[in-house]
């Protein structure tokens, strides 16, 4: 199997796994990955993560031209914003996962640091998560909002919409967005209950131990 053929299969396998575990539903969510020639493979618009066809993924060249496959997701501006501002990005995943969406609607969420420091793992895999305001789905302004972050965040949470995460490869992007959803679930489960999140000193110790870009 060639490198691109294998990447196509990996995209569909990850998407199907997320669909099976109810991290997406219907035709929600989208996923992309960088090819070895600098192009992109992207999930098509209106498709279900549970039924992606490797041969019908949208294929872009390095200049951003659609070469073949079905029309891409309408959230392309979100994806390209991460690739253009974070050169280390090899894959981007966007979900409408329930707990993340629910947490994005809580009135006291800090837009600059949207996830509470409940475990070290969200810090390790996500850094600080930026909460962006609501945009109409497909609005190019979402991509512009990500570009204004100047590559300083690998994960954002769109209010009333869902998370989007960039990783060095498919596996890391998938793991990170699942950690974001899990942390949001913990936050919702503990909402209104007395909890002991990590202290500022404990957060700093994790940041230093794992060389996390935290202060940007």
Catalytic positions, please? 75, 121
Tally Cβ neighbours within 10 Å of residue 60: 23
Q: Largest Cα–Cα distance in the chain?
A: 54
Continuous segment of H or E residues that includes residue 37: none
d(CA 45, CA 107): 32
Q: Which two structure tokens, joined as six digits, stand for 150?
A: 């100047």
Half-sphere exposure of 116 toward its Cβ, with a 13 Å CA cutoff? 18
Q: Which residues contact 68 (CB under 8 A, 6 or more apart)?
A: 59
């Amino acid at each position: 199997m060639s490198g691109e053929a294998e990447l196509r299969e990996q995209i569909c396998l990850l998407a199907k796994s997320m669909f099976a575990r109810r991290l997406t539903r219907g035709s929600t969510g989208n996923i992309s990955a960088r090819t070895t020639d600098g192009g992109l493979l992207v999930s098509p618009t209106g498709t279900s993560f549970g039924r992606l066809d490797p041969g019908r993924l949208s294929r872009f060249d390095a200049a951003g031209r659609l070469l073949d496959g079905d029309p891409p997701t309408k959230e392309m501006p979100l994806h390209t914003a991460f690739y253009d501002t974070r050169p280390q990005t090899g894959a981007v995943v966007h979900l409408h996962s329930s707990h993340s969406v629910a947490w994005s609607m809580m009135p006291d969420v800090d837009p600059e640091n949207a996830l509470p420091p409940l475990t070290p793992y969200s810090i390790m895999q996500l850094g600080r998560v930026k909460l962006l305001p609501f945009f109409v789905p497909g609005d190019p302004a979402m991509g512009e909002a990500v570009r204004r972050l100047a590559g300083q965040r690998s994960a954002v949470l769109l209010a009333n919409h869902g998370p989007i995460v960039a990783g060095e490869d498919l596996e890391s992007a998938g793991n990170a967005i699942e950690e974001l959803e899990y942390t949001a679930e913990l936050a919702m489960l503990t909402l209104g209950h007395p909890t002991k999140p990590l202290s500022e000193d404990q957060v700093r110790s994790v940041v230093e131990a794992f060389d996390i870009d935290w202060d940007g």
